[in-house]
Amino acid sequence: MLELRPNCECCDDDLPPDSMEAMICTFECTFCRSCAEGVLQGACPNCGGNFSARPIRPAALLVKYPASAVRIHKPEGCSRKTG
């Protein structure tokens, strides 16, 4: 089950569970659309994979399956990795 991380790892903007701006890679690294498409140019700085829009968990299921509250912020890694 997806963690639904609460923020962009790059700019630390909030990404609530219903955000249409949240993008994730296959390891659930989480970024806002602006950072994923702009700063990172579509490649995760952690694994090199691509991004997909993070699915929305219906509000009724957030009670039983809450989103993560753990913030991950790595501004030093907020650049596209090469090679």
Do the domain assignments include residue 58? yes
**Length of the chain counted residue by residue:** 83
Do the domain assignments include residue 74? no
Beta pairing, strands 22-24 & 52-53: antiparallel
- CATH at 17: 3.30.40
C-alpha gyration radius of the chain:
12
Domain total in the chain: 1
Do the domain assignments include residue 56? yes
- pLDDT by residue for the chain (83 residues), tens digit each? 999 999 999 999 999 999 999 999 999 999 999 999 999 999 999 999 999 999 999 999 999 999 999 999 998 878 755 44
pLDDT at position 82 is 47
23 close to 36: Cβ distance less than 8 angstroms: yes
Do the domain assignments include residue 27? yes
Range of the domain at 45: 1-67
Do the domain assignments include residue 19? yes
Do the domain assignments include residue 78? no
